Chains A and B, each alone.
Chain A
Amino acid sequence: SQTIHQWPATLVQPVGSPLSLECTVEGTSNPNLYWYRQAAGRGLQLLFYSVGIGQISSEVPQNLSASRPQDRQFILSSKKLLLSDSGFYLCAWSKKTPKETQYFGPGTRLLVL
């Protein structure tokens, strides 16, 4: 069966510091991968998605970036965090068939102070 992992689970970072969040998927190959952010009291916002190694599409202009160095690894980064980057970050994967189910990881809670 497939599993999706995210770490760290919780992170507290000062404004202006760098960020690296990691997501890995097990039990499948060549998945689509997604990064979402859920701000407090708001819905989910798609940040990035990837259909393959090195292929990243950005949905929202911001100071975040994403990379996919391996087939089942998806990384969310920032060089300098802003207060507004605080939120709950969720990674998800899906098969490539259109309209497929997305399966979500446990999330990373980021607090920028």
Chain B
Amino acid sequence: AQSVTQLDSHVSVSEGTPVLLRCNYSSSYSPSLFWYVQHPNKGLQLLLKYTSAATLVKGINGFEAEFKKSETSFHLTKPSAHMSDAAEYFCVVNIAAGNKLTFGGGTRVLVKP
């Protein structure tokens, strides 16, 4: 079975400071890992995806994530937060041939001016 744990339900940062969103996963197989962002009343937008190539994955809007197999982690970072980064972020794992995703509980990011 696979599972995803997002270690922080809420993160508050000041504009211009770094953002770190933590994600740990459990999987018996080599997973694909994703980060999605959801702004209020919107669908989920893909930020980035890890598929067993480079362990450091660069995504849109300045975000990147590092896959660490030994720590079973896939943390999302951004060096400088922008007000538009205020949203909910989901860490997601997919190992199944049927493409069934397992979602983390989400992390809501608040950006203070």
Partner of A44, one of B42, B49, B97, B103: B103
Q: Is the interface of A mostly helix, strand, loop or mixed?
A: strand
Residues of the B chain whose Cβ atoms lie less than 8 Å from the Cβ of A49 = 98-100
Cα(A45)–Cα(B90), bound, Å: 13
Total cross-chain contacts (CB, 8 A): 55
In the assembled complex, B12 has its CB within 8 A of some CB on chain A: no
Q: Is the interface of B mostly helix, strand, loop or mixed?
A: loop
Within 8 A of B (CB), among A84-105: 88, 90, 92, 94, 96, 98-105
B98 to chain A, nearest CB (A): 7
Cα(A13)–Cα(B96), bound, Å: 36
- Tell me if B94 and A99 are in contact (CB < 8 A): yes
Cα(A107)–Cα(B49), bound, Å: 22
- Tell me if B34 and A107 are in contact (CB < 8 A): no
Residues of the A chain whose Cβ atoms lie less than 8 Å from the Cβ of B97 = 98
Q: Which residue numbers of B lie inside 8 Å of A, CB to CB?
A: 31-32, 34, 36, 41-46, 49, 51, 90, 94-101, 103-106
Can you spell out 22 A-B residue pairs with CB atoms less than 8 angstroms apart? A32-B99, A43-B105, A44-B103, A49-B99, A49-B100, A92-B44, A96-B99, A98-B97, A98-B99, A99-B31, A99-B32, A99-B94, A99-B95, A99-B96, A99-B99, A101-B49, A103-B46, A104-B36, A106-B42, A106-B43, A107-B43, A109-B41
